[in-house]
Amino acid sequence: MKLHLAIPLMWVMTAGAFAAPQIEVDQPRWNFGTVTNGYAEDHDFLIRNRGDETLRISRVLSSCSACLSAQMPSTNLPPGGTATVRAHLDLRTLTGAVTRAILVDSNDPKTPSVILNLAGVVVPAYQVVPPEINLDLSRNQPAATVEISALTEGGGALAQVSSSDTNVIATITRRATSPGEYVVAMQVLNSLPRGNTVCVLTARGTDSNTEPCRVLCYIRNPPDLELTPVQLRLQPVDELQRRILWIRQRGPTPLILLDILASSATIKCEIVPESTRFNYRVNVAARGQKNHSGQTNWLTLKMQDQNLQERLVPVPVSVN
């Protein structure tokens, strides 16, 4: 009797031991052909569970965080179930032969990882000279121009240009001698906030089938009083440490640096006026910082305006 009971029990245990999920991809490689770099390409990879247990997707990882994103809304697939990995490939910064990959990890015991491949050739629709605009308003550079040449049939007939920042205006003109060549002129308005700004100029045609041309603009608009660095950093050591603080002024009413007050006696400062009026180099020397780790001291710039009014400008000095 015991022998007859053992046989079916052994069969049930053996069958259960082989139950497992099995991942399958219908077409793991997608060739998007030859395309221009004006747009993005989207593609869905179909994932199927051929096993007899739930397939759990633990990770979907792109090989290029800057140009390729991958999403999988459903990560638990029952036996026979399907789901898609949605790939979004941004072509705007790519050119030439392009190969990208997506890694998919799961609980499939035989194939725990599969690779989804994207491949093709990206050709620029336009040639832009220079390829990007860099302006430094502190050097009196509020305007710039770029030349655009259409390289493909899809790129051309540009008629208008827009800016992603309302403080930057742009115009586009076509060269009379070359129908496929354009000049974009951009101007920074006085309303642009202080700091560093990145904006995009987008040239488009009147026809929606015309691919747009985008130009990146990097604009530096420093404050009237600029400190470099904005925070001094010291190491927690007792040995002598030297740092330099640069003071640059560009506004119409610059300040005079009268003195520098340090909140700690372990920090000494030397003011060195530069040849350019109202600009200074401050030589900072510090000792005995070993026991001050994690603390922040302060340098206070004692400055005076044209009305003989004092202004105090704090500069942090951290020890870490």
Pick 155 or 307 by higher pLDDT: 307
Contacts of 232 (CB under 8 A, 6+ apart): 243, 245, 284, 299, 315, 316, 317, 318
Q: Are 304 and 258 in contact (CB under 8 A)?
A: yes
Mean pLDDT of 288-307: 94
Q: Is the pLDDT of residue 16 over 80?
A: no
Contacts of 240 (CB under 8 A, 6+ apart): 285, 286, 287
Which DSSP helix (H) or strand (E) runs through 284? strand 280-286
Residue-level pLDDT at 17: 57
pLDDT band for position 9 (cuts 50, 70, 90): very low
The set of long-range contacts for 126-133, using a CB threshold of 8 Å and a minimum separation of 24, is 126/150, 126/151, 126/155, 126/211, 126/213, 127/151, 128/213, 128/215, 131/215, 132/215, 132/216, 132/217, 132/218, 133/186, 133/201, 133/215, 133/216, 133/217, 133/218
β-sheet bridge partners, residue 132:
216
Chain CA centroid to CA 294, Å: 30
Residue-level pLDDT at 237: 95
The dihedrals phi and psi of 189, each to the nearest 5 degrees, come to -80, 160
Q: What are the tokens at 272?
A: 């060195």
Place of tokens 């742009």: 170
Q: What is the pTM of this model?
A: 0.57
Q: Does domain 126-221 have CATH number 2.30.40.10?
A: no
Residue-level pLDDT at 29: 97
- pLDDT, one tens digit per residue, over 244-291 is 999 998 878 899 999 999 999 999 999 999 987 789 999 999 999 999
Q: Is the pLDDT of residue 180 over 50?
A: yes
Please report, for residues 109, 139, 247, the alpha-carbon distance to residue 274 in angstroms, rounded to integers and kept in the order given: 70, 17, 10
Residue-level pLDDT at 156: 54
Q: Is the pLDDT of residue 319 over 50?
A: yes
Mean pLDDT of 35-58: 92
User: Can you identify the CATH homologous superfamily of domain 22-123?
Assistant: Immunoglobulins (2.60.40.10)
Q: What are the tokens at 316?
A: 């942090």
Q: Is the pLDDT of residue 85 over 60?
A: yes
pLDDT band for position 18 (cuts 50, 70, 90): confident
Q: Are 120 and 98 in contact (CB under 8 A)?
A: yes
Q: Does domain 225-319 have CATH number 2.60.40.1930?
A: no
Residue-level pLDDT at 171: 96
Tell me which DSSP letter residue 254 carries: P
- pLDDT, one tens digit per residue, over 102-148 is 999 999 999 999 999 999 999 888 899 999 999 998 888 899 999 99
Q: Comparing 126-221 with 225-319, is the CATH topology the same?
A: yes
- pLDDT, one tens digit per residue, over 218-228 is 999 988 899 99
pLDDT band for position 153 (cuts 50, 70, 90): low
Q: Are 267 and 299 in contact (CB under 8 A)?
A: yes
- pLDDT, one tens digit per residue, over 59-73 is 999 999 889 999 998
Q: Is the pLDDT of residue 243 over 50?
A: yes
Residue-level pLDDT at 11: 42
- pLDDT, one tens digit per residue, over 200-218 is 999 998 877 788 888 999 9
Q: Are 30 and 119 in contact (CB under 8 A)?
A: yes
| Domain map (residue ranges) of the chain | 22-123, 126-221, 225-319
Q: Is the pLDDT of residue 152 over 90?
A: no
Residue-level pLDDT at 95: 86
